Amino acid sequence: MSLKATLTKRKYKKVRNDEVQEPVENPEMPGMPENPENPNEGEGQPINLAELGNYFDMARNNYFEANRVIFMTGPVTWELGIHIIQKLCFYDDGTKRPITIYISSPGGECDVGFAIIDCINKLKSKHIEVNTICIGPCSSMASVILASGTIGHRYAFPSSRIMIHQAGITEVGGKLDDINIIQHELQVWTDTMNKIFKKQTGKSLDELRKLTSYDNYMSASEAKKLGIIDKISAKMI
């Protein structure tokens, strides 16, 4: 069935370039006939696909809001971090219903990631279940956020790739003292990540220091064995 037949079952008429059509719209649903029970009403009027698309977007967003779903995609920046934190705070509404975070990210800024994890831990302290689900890549700081979900409720899709490593920096400049300060911060961030992994995986700090001393890529099954996730599943929660 064509899109035209599926959406309206209406015919289209040719319009001269200098003609302007004024559709008769339902005020509650722009672009739709005023009386949906009369399929002939508004015959010849074009469908406002942009408005229809807006309704689909609204329905999708309402579904995610109702089910307390958050998507964390792309690099972990402050822009993304504030969005995630706002959502987590919004869902802390006293209902104690589970929250689900889908993660697909190459990682990013450590301080942003730790702020997100602080919010997750606050929710968990209130006995709110936080599901974390890896879709595709989940590297660096994103893998720490993945591991920080409620134990027993951390998932990865079968083809996911997870990577853990030490904190790093791409550009270094300044005097020797400045570089020493940066080195100290990198060590603090790395130690913090390893302490989170220790708490969430049960592995020793010595073992984790070895595992994060290089770009350690792993499959979903390897991440499960390490304790970063609990289950491998493509089921959408």
Do 50 and 119 belong to one domain?
A: no
- Domain membership of residue 81 (yes or no) is yes
Contacts of 222 (CB under 8 A, 6+ apart): 162
**What does the block give as tokens for 21?**
């059509």
Contacts of 114 (CB under 8 A, 6+ apart): 192
- Taking residue 187's Cβ as centre, other Cβ atoms within 10 Å add up to 12
Residue whose token pair is 């289209």: 12
- Domain membership of residue 95 (yes or no) is yes
pTM beyond cutoff 0.95? no
Catalytic residue status for 140 = yes
Do 221 and 152 belong to one domain?
A: yes
Catalytic residue status for 153 = no
- Domain membership of residue 14 (yes or no) is no
Read off the DSSP letter of residue 101. E
pLDDT in tens, the chain (237 residues): 444 434 444 444 444 555 545 544 455 544 444 555 555 555 556 666 666 656 666 776 677 788 899 999 999 999 999 999 999 999 999 989 999 999 999 999 999 999 999 999 999 999 999 999 999 999 999 999 999 999 999 999 999 999 999 998 877 667 878 888 889 999 999 999 999 999 999 999 999 999 999 999 999 999 999 999 999 998 776
Phi, psi at residue 66, to the nearest 5°? -65, -35
C-alpha–C-alpha distance, residues 148 and 142, integer Å:
10
Do 57 and 172 belong to one domain?
A: no
pLDDT of residue 82: 96
pLDDT of residue 44: 56
Do 149 and 177 belong to one domain?
A: yes
pLDDT of residue 63: 75
- Domain membership of residue 197 (yes or no) is no
**What does the block give as tokens for 146?**
């993945």
Do 29 and 76 belong to one domain?
A: no
**Among 105, 139, 140, 143, the one annotated catalytic:** 140
**Among 105, 139, 143, 165, the one annotated catalytic:** 165
C-alpha–C-alpha distance, residues 113 and 101, integer Å:
13
pLDDT of residue 153: 97
Buried b (16+ CB within 10 A) or exposed e, 129-142: ebbbbbbebbbbbb
pLDDT of residue 4: 40
pLDDT of residue 9: 41
Q: What is the CATH number of the domain that holds 226?
A: 3.90.226.10
Phi, psi at residue 174, to the nearest 5°? 115, -175
Domain extent for 81: 67-182+209-232
